[in-house]
Structure 1
Amino acid sequence: MPEATSPTRKRIVDAATKLFYAEGIGRVSVDAVAEKAGLTKRTLYYHFKSKDDLIAAYLDGRDQPNLKQMAGWFDAAEGGADRKVEAIFTNLARVARHPRWKGCGFLRTAAELAAMPGHPAVRAGSRHKAKFETWLVAELLGRGIGEPQILAREIVLLMDGAFSIMLIHRNPDYIEAAGHAAATLVRARSLSRD
């Protein structure tokens, strides 16, 4: 398999990212990805043994940028842990107001592949969600918040629930409401430590 940092491989993943996020993985063919990348299908298959591997690479490519963005929003927010957690949701609501926002690519892909729990893309989504939760546990623990593992899990449930309802209603107010709820949970855990 070609090296992961190959410019051609990156071009393929970039093209797949644009198409898969905009249209969904089921509606985008390998031919469309090759065409968008300006390559032959044969070249694409030289770099990826299957569409499944390409879908997983698409999600793996979104992992670190998404985590970095959320950590940046958290770090930039003024105030305590409650305000920092809420800032993630506030910024997600702002991003969700953009007309090209299509929701969480990890959740949308997992929904399309619900009947295939062992799919490489489902595993990539699971890794991403676990990394976010682990990062959040560390942030909460470092700020002396009680029950950080439970709290991080509750915040993830609020976030992913808001993402899911957003796909139905297309109303970012749900993300903001989830952010208020998350901040309330953080404050409650902070008070219980005092």
Structure 2
Amino acid sequence: MPRTAQPTRDRIIEAASKLFYSEGIGGVSVDAVAERAGVTKRTLYYHFLSKDDLIAAYLEGRDQPNLALMARWFKEAEGGPATKAQAIFIHLAKAARHPKWKGCGFLRTIAELAAMPGHPAVKIGARHKRSFETWLAREFADQGEDTAAELARHIVILLDGAFSAALTHRDAAYLEAAGRAANQLVASAQAGRKRRR
């Protein structure tokens, strides 16, 4: 889309998203975002009251697309819930092999703002993680899993731990290993349910 056809606010968010994800929120100034977006600093502040507002908009913009993508991976995977849960990790491992991959943008932003738990972006990040967990629990419940909420929480713990390990070691194999563990967890829960019947 030509720059003139894209709304200014969207252009600023797009520029901020690229810079914040690539360099971290602390390493990017408002001036850098304005320059990347091709606007003046005054124009940026017309659309966003502060850098904090811009950081929140950055995460807000990632929320639904990321959730929709993981839901699509789950839905399109062949097999039962164990294989479908593992598919999310397999796709994330592929993404982690890209040279520009910098981990989970939500976790990285929350970590940078750890001393500011009331920051709007921290709340958005927490909401995103809860939304994923709630969605996954619903998927498991729809399959008849009576421990769906606990199972979904275990998968989230695996996922966020794998994000951290993959980023720390620059090795996507951690995501694949976590995917196999997720598969085993879900399969074990299913087997336990069958034994109880």
Scaled to the shorter chain, the TM-score interval is over 0.9
SS at match of 2:43: helix
Alignment-derived partner of residue 77 in structure 2? 77
Alignment-derived partner of residue 3 in structure 2? none
- Give runs of ≥4 in structure 1 deviating > 3 Å: none
Aligned sequence identity (%): 66
**What is the CA-CA distance between 1:52 and the residue it aligns to?**
0.5
Alignment-derived partner of residue 25 in structure 2? 25
Instruction: Tell whether 2:176 aligns with 1:161.
Output: no
Alignment-derived partner of residue 3 in structure 1? none
**C-alpha distance in 2, partners of 1:42/1:146?**
54
Judge conservation of contact 1:82–1:182 (CA < 8 Å) in 2: yes
**What is the CA-CA distance between 1:26 and the residue it aligns to?**
0.3
Structure 2: give runs of 5+ residues left out of the alignment.
1-5
Judge conservation of contact 1:16–1:33 (CA < 8 Å) in 2: yes
CA RMSD of aligned residues (A): 0.9
What is the correspondence of 1:38-187 to structure 2 with a 5 Å cutoff? 38-187=38-187
**C-alpha distance in 1, partners of 2:72/2:145?**
20
Q: Which moved more, 1:6-15 or 1:137-146?
A: 6-15
**C-alpha distance in 2, partners of 1:24/1:55?**
10
Deviations 1:102-135 (A, max 9, x none): 0000000111111111111111100100110111
Amino acid at match of 1:122: V
Structure 1: give runs of 5+ residues left out of the alignment.
1-5
**What is the CA-CA distance between 1:146 and the residue it aligns to?**
2.9
**C-alpha distance in 2, partners of 1:115/1:177?**
32
TM-score, normalised on structure 2?
0.94
